[in-house]
């Protein structure tokens, strides 16, 4: 099984500074929907084939993060690409909703990677002044 990283305000930089994909579940120990959906979330995590970091945050232990990311409903699942928040899913949702959001996140990553490759190849088509004079 994939490792779920227990994150807090000191370790959340692992997500914010990380290149690539990440998914974080915000929950509270006193939240019945959080408990009821935990096995659903774990089932979803087991099914993921994409390369991404997965973490959890206890909102009671991370009030600054809770405020920064506007966590107003629990559980909340946030999906990041290169530290940038792309999706924010609030409440208990079916696995298909998480899968759809993850697929969109992967497409977003692929689209950006393709754009970066195009920029690189365009840059290699440029000639310097000395190359132009030599022709």
pLDDT (tens digit per residue) in 25-52: 999 999 999 999 999 999 999 999 889 9
- Residue 94: exposed, middle, or buried by beta-carbon count in 10 A (0-12, 13-18, 19+)? exposed
Helix (H, G, I), strand (E, B) or coil at 53: strand
pLDDT of residue 108: 77
Whether the CB-CB separation of 9 and 64 falls below 8 Å is answered with yes
- Which pLDDT score is estimated for 36? 95
pTM of the model: 0.80
Can you list the domains of the chain with their CATH numbers? 5-107 (3.40.30.10)
* DSSP code for 99: H
Pairing of strands 76-81, 84-90: antiparallel
Q: Which residue has the tokens 């997965």?
A: 54
pLDDT recorded at residue 116: 54
pLDDT digits (tens, 9 = 90+) for 57-108: 999 999 999 999 999 999 999 999 999 999 999 999 999 999 999 999 888 7
Which residues pair with residue 80 across a beta bridge?
Answer: 22, 85
């Amino acid at each position: 099984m994939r490792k779920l990283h227990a994150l807090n305000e000191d370790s959340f930089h692992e997500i914010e500074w990380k290149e690539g994909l990440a998914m974080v579940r915000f929950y509270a120990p006193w939240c019945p929907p959080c408990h009821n959906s935990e096995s659903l979330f774990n089932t979803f995590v087991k099914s993921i084939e994409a390369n991404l970091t997965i973490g959890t945050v206890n909102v009671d232990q991370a009030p600054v993060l809770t405020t920064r990311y506007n966590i107003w409903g629990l559980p909340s699942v946030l999906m990041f690409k290169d530290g940038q928040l792309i999706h924010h899913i609030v409440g208990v949702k079916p696995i298909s909703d998480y899968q759809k959001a993850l697929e969109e996140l992967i497409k977003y990553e692929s689209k950006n990677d393709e754009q970066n490759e195009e920029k690189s190849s365009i840059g290699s088509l440029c000639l310097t002044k000395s190359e132009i004079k030599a022709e």
